[in-house]
Chains A and B, each alone.
Chain A
Amino acid sequence: MDFGLIAQYLANGILLGTMYALVAVGFTLFFGVLDVIKFSHGDVLMLGTFIGFTAWLGLEAVGVTNPWLQLAGVLLCSLAGTALIGAAIANWLILPLKRAPQLNTLLITLMLGTAIREAVRLFYPNGSNPKAFPALLPDASVEIGSFALRADSVILVVSGLALIGALNLVINRTRLGLAIRAVAQDEETARTMGINYTLVVLATFAIGSGVAAFAGIMNGLYYNEINFGMGLILGLIGFSAAIVGGLGNLYGAILGGFLFAGLQVVGSALLPFASAYKDVFAFAVVIALMAWKPTGLIPERSSDRV
């Protein structure tokens, strides 16, 4: 296998990995703060992408054609809208169930996800058909041997990684991050120290959902196509990535995302059987990893939680 081919696989894997990591980060944030698993995460992501797509249609309609302006508008609407939706879900569906068994939260978000998905399918104009998402990034490419490096892929990966980096800074270096970590560690003590618990939870859900919307827009820009079912598999992969990396740990989610992408690429590139089995292979390895390390590759330190 020549260099160009390996580089191409690597580039594909990094792009997918960034996308998965962004989704996994949301799962891990929610679990860290509230100990809940929000199964509607993937569908919220899809909703965010459709908000961005609608914003683009609106911008086209009013005559804004500069791609960078359009991109800014799309990102702004999508991220802000999805953050609000995330906070709303936390406020009206998840916080009220805090004293109920965790299974109820899991079920209610699972059902919410289905409701969101079906609502977009039925009520978005022509929602059951795939939509052609615009290519807003420059599509110049550099050929290095047999390897085509495209400007848009580079921009997507760099901005995705930058967002993860920024999120890391927010969690570890800001007062909000301190509050989030405090709540994650011990809710009661955090409250007695004067931290506004509800606000911190809402902020966490807003951040996690906004990051997912970014992953959705990234997905749209990369594949130039979005559809109502896109959140399902992305959500599942993000969830698996968060679990295998160690639920509740930010680095674990990132590691899990890249690991899953790597497995998919290996599954389709190196293994002898049909590439249709790449997801089977990736999920099988994830199952094996979970059997080996039930708390994830980078487990949440238990002292964090007691």
Chain B
Amino acid sequence: MKFNTRKSLRAVVFSVGTSASLLAAVAAQAKDTVELGFIGPLTGGVSSMGLGGRNSAELAVQLRNADPNSKYHYELVALDDECKPNVGVQVATKLATDRKVVGTIAHYCSAVAMGTVDVYHRFGLPMTVWGAVLPDITYGNDYPEITRVNGTMINQNEKAASVMTGLGYKTFAIIHDTTDYGKGHNTYLTQFLTEGGASVVGAFGVTADQQDFTAELTQVKALNPDVVVYAGLTPGGVRVRQQMEKLGIEAVFEGVSGIKSDAFFEGLGGELAEGTMTFLEGAPAEKLPGGAYFLKEYEAAGFDSPPEAYGPFAFAAMDLLIDAVEASGPDRKAIVEYMGGVKEHASITGPITFDDHGQNTVALITAYVAQDGKWVVWEDSEYASGARKLVAPK
């Protein structure tokens, strides 16, 4: 008898267990699946940025799917724009024509975003930029579909000019790639430097994939500036810094947000990178309002590459997009409308408020310096404390 009781008890436990798991399965099925897009450079020279962004977006999706209160089950469709405008337009079109995709976050490369915004507008697909910083992406059009969580290069260069002139540097030579990104940085940096009383002694347009900069740098050497600026992305920055050394140019090397990646140190080795200055919107992940949470979850998710500089923005953009779906349903028009009214929306990068062009109004910019193979916030660095010295102004 006793034996029998135990047997029936086991049967009860078994059947309860089975029905519970069945129920859970039914519950999961009851949630409609919503597809959301991610576009960024997943291969090519700046792929580290793209992979960091994709992982961060993936993390936002995973965390929301794990939340029992979410109304939908989310799936990420990640596409590679290779940081090339022509490829970007192709994948953007692919995503925009897929009616199952209700919204996307996209683009690290400004030149690509400039090419694709028309596509999103034409197909009415809401797109939030997670990395590209060219002002014209939001300010150059009136498309309600386009929004951006990160700041623009206007804020970035204003800060860059004030920090560098504040340190006593007076003469600058700018090498910029001739994409919209490099040209934009050149324009704004020149403007703010001139306003700050410094002078730009030479500006050189170069192609984005140029290998040899010795001709430009030879001219730079003759101009003997305090600071050599490279306005472009990491691969070019690595080459310019390397070739400055080969030509024996003694000057501070300053980059733009495009070179702030761990790949900069991989390509260059710690010694040459030392003392490189750069500027980036927002603050380091650990100093952001939700940074500790983000980094802990990112670590726990076990991605094989770091979130890089724009990972937190990609996370915030994806999280915002999911909030939009939760609030107004998986419908492109409704999401666009929702985005138009985003104000003081909580995110790990701080509150998001879109202006009438869909631009987040954050003006927080942080200065970084390369110290011992890492990007260190300028104020916390040994260069700011005086323990180490940048190349002195001439």
Which A residues are within 8 Å of any B CB, using their own CB? Answer: 1-2, 5, 8-9, 12, 16, 121, 128-130, 132, 141, 143, 146, 148, 150, 153, 223-225, 227, 229-230, 233, 264-265, 267-269, 274-276, 278-279
Residue in contact with A8 in the complex, picked from B206, B209, B247, B267, CB distance below 8 Å: B247
20 contacts between A and B (CB under 8 A): A8-B247, A128-B47, A129-B45, A129-B263, A130-B45, A132-B267, A148-B247, A223-B239, A224-B242, A225-B267, A227-B45, A229-B209, A264-B215, A268-B219, A269-B219, A274-B178, A275-B216, A276-B207, A276-B210, A278-B215
Instruction: Report how far A91 CA is from B44 CA in the complex, Å.
Output: 33
Is the C-beta of B211 less than 8 angstroms from some C-beta in chain A?
yes
Whole-angstrom distance between the alpha carbons of A16 and B248 in the complex? 18
Q: CA–CA, A224 to B218, complex, Å?
A: 18
Given A132-B266, A224-B242, 15 more A-B residue pairs with CB atoms under 8 Å apart are A8-B221, A128-B44, A128-B45, A132-B267, A146-B221, A146-B222, A148-B248, A150-B246, A223-B242, A223-B243, A225-B235, A268-B215, A268-B219, A269-B219, A274-B178
Known contacts A150-B246, A276-B206: A233-B211 contact under CB 8 Å: yes
Q: In the complex, which residues 226-247 of chain B have their Cβ closer than 8 Å to any Cβ of chain A?
A: 235, 238-239, 242-243, 246-247
Cα A154 to Cα B90 in complex, Å, equals: 46
Query: CB within 8 A of B215: which of A12, A130, A224?
Result: A12
Main secondary structure of the interface of A (DSSP, over half): helix
When A224-B242, A275-B215 are in contact, do A132 and B209 touch as well, CB less than 8 Å?
no
**In the complex, B205 has a CB within 8 A of chain A:** yes
> Given A9-B218, A12-B218, A275-B216, does the pair A225, B239 have CB atoms closer than 8 Å?
yes
A-chain residues with CB within 8 Å of residue B222 when the two chains form the complex:
1-2, 5, 146
Closest CB-CB distance, B182 to chain A, in whole Å?
10
Write out the residue numbers on chain B whose beta carbons fall within 8 Å of the beta carbon of A224: 242
Q: B33 contacts which chain A residues (CB < 8 A)?
A: none
CB distance from B62 to the nearest CB of A (A): 25
* Across-interface contacts of A128 in B (CB, < 8 A): 43-45, 47
A264 to B246, CA, bound (A): 19
Q: Kindly state the separation between the CA atoms of A99 and B89 in the bound complex, as whole angstroms.
A: 43
Q: Which residues of A contact B215 (CB under 8 A)?
A: 9, 12, 264-265, 267-269, 275, 278
Which residue of chain A lies nearest to B43 when distances are taken between CB atoms in the complex? A128
Q: Mark B36-80, 1 if CB is under 8 A from A, else 0.
A: 000000011101100000000000000000000000000000000
Asked if A276 and B205 sit within 8 Å, CB to CB, the answer is yes
Cβ-defined contact, B242 with A225, below 8 A? yes
Residue of A nearest to B207 (CB): A276
B393 contacts A by Cβ under 8 Å? no
Task: Find chain A residues with CB under 8 A from B216 CB.
Answer: 268, 275
A191 CA to B268 CA, complexed, in Å: 53
Bound-state Cα–Cα, A130 to B267, Å:
7
Determine which of A129, A153, A269, A276 lies in contact with B48 in the assembled complex, contact meaning CB atoms within 8 Å. Answer: A129
- Residues from chain A with Cβ under 8 Å of B47 in the complex: 128-129
Task: Check: B155 CB closer than 8 A to any chain A CB.
Answer: no
- Indicate the member of B44, B239, B246 with the most A CB atoms within 10 Å: B246
Provide the bound-state CA to CA distance between A274 and B243, in Å: 19
Q: Is the CB of B43 within 8 A of A275?
A: no
Enumerate chain A residues within 8 angstroms of B123, measured Cβ to Cβ.
none
Chain A contacts for B267, CB-based, 8 A = 130, 132, 225
Q: In the docked arrangement, what's the CA distance between A12 and B247, Å?
A: 10
Q: Is B269 in contact with A223, judged by CB distance below 8 angstroms?
A: no
Contact partners of A227 in chain B: CB under 8 A: 45, 235
A146 CA / B220 CA spacing, docked (Å):
12
